[in-house]
Amino acid sequence: MNAVLSVRGISKTIGGKTLVEGISFEIGKGEIFGLLGPNGAGKTTTIRMLVGLIEPTSGSIAVCGHDVRKARREAMRGVGAIVENPELYGYLSGEENLRQFARLSRLEGADERIREVARLVGLEERLQEKVKRYSLGMRQRLGLAQALLHRPSLLILDEPTNGLDPAGMREFRQLLRTLASEGTAILLSSHLLGEIEQVCDRVGVIQNGRWVLTSAVGELGDPSQGRRLLIHVDSAEKALACLDAEGIEVRARFVSPAVISLVPPAESMNPLLKTLLNGGITIHRLEEQNTSLEDKFLEITGGNQG
């Protein structure tokens, strides 16, 4: 892989408490990589280390071959980011915000580039308005324009679709694909698993401060890797209790009051179905379901969404 971002064994300890430990991954040129994890898993700490807001206690981070610790200026020159909420000046217009950032970045050809990024994010008609009058979605768009202004090799986005309506989210997905096709590496952190699944090439999952999974998105839905079965019953709660009492290990979980989801046994379904029937459970129908990204995430994290 031609790595734009290379993370090697980073850990962060504060006040004797380890927040993240031994995290390693890479993102290649033109790749969109999704970062997932429950609340408190260490996503935000990891992102803050990647953008240079805090230093790792150990390990290394390199952007385009530049070590963030040893050559911070060169490394950060290749990074554009939205971390949490974009930092914007409400009393300035959208254009004035971009010009201020261009000055701080010593950007050449700022006028043309500002027009270009405004068009990319769909703000060209609203640049003259004061940012304090912007909706949350418009602020997100302006933050993205600011992150793109200096043509970064790596774009890091933490919950970038906050405030966007469905049409705006669709446009945002298309923009990410366009940027990736031009060679930009993108790290995307979001609690909207459907969005991650639609736009990302690979995903990584953090759980309890540790890296627990890296996978191509397409592989997560492979029926041979993650086929699940939906069983429609009269009482999901009673069905789960019945399986648990008999010690049947099928990773069953509650879907709705009348539906449970489980991984079917490798051999025959007959013993499982017999157990439910003997337990007084009425089975209405069985339905095969391929594993989605959300299914896999909930399986790994024990149902704790982030």
Per-residue pLDDT tens digits for 219-259: 765 444 456 788 999 998 899 889 888 877 777 777 778 88
Q: What is the pLDDT of residue 251?
A: 74
Asked whether the beta carbons of 203 and 266 are under 8 A apart, the reply is no
Provide the 3-class DSSP secondary structure of residue 161: coil
CA distance 260 to 253: 6
Helices 136-148 and 166-181: crossing angle, nearest 10°? 10
Tokens of 71: 């050559």
Residue with tokens 């366009």: 178
Provide the 3-class DSSP secondary structure of residue 166: helix
- How, if at all, do strands 3-14 and 17-28 pair? antiparallel
User: Which ranges constitute the DSSP H helices of 81-210?
Assistant: 94-104, 110-121, 136-148, 166-181, 193-199
- CB proximity list for 72: less than 8 A, separation 6 or greater: 52
**Among 137, 129, 184, 128, residue whose Cα is nearest residue 159:** 137
CA distance 228 to 220: 12
Helices 136-148 and 94-104: crossing angle, nearest 10°? 30
Q: What is the pLDDT of residue 224?
A: 46
Provide the 3-class DSSP secondary structure of residue 99: helix
- CB proximity list for 287: less than 8 A, separation 6 or greater: 229, 230, 231, 232
**Among 14, 22, 152, 176, residue whose Cα is nearest residue 81:** 152
CA distance 274 to 277: 5
Please write the tens of the pLDDT for every residue from 210-221. Answer: 998 888 887 765
Average pLDDT of each block of 10 consecutive residues along the chain (306 residues)? 90 94 95 90 92 94 94 92 85 95 88 92 93 89 93 93 80 89 93 82 91 81 60 90 82 79 79 90 84 67 58
Q: What is the pLDDT of residue 295?
A: 66
**Among 212, 261, 220, residue whose Cα is nearest residue 36:** 212
Q: What is the pLDDT of residue 292?
A: 66
CA distance 141 to 163: 10
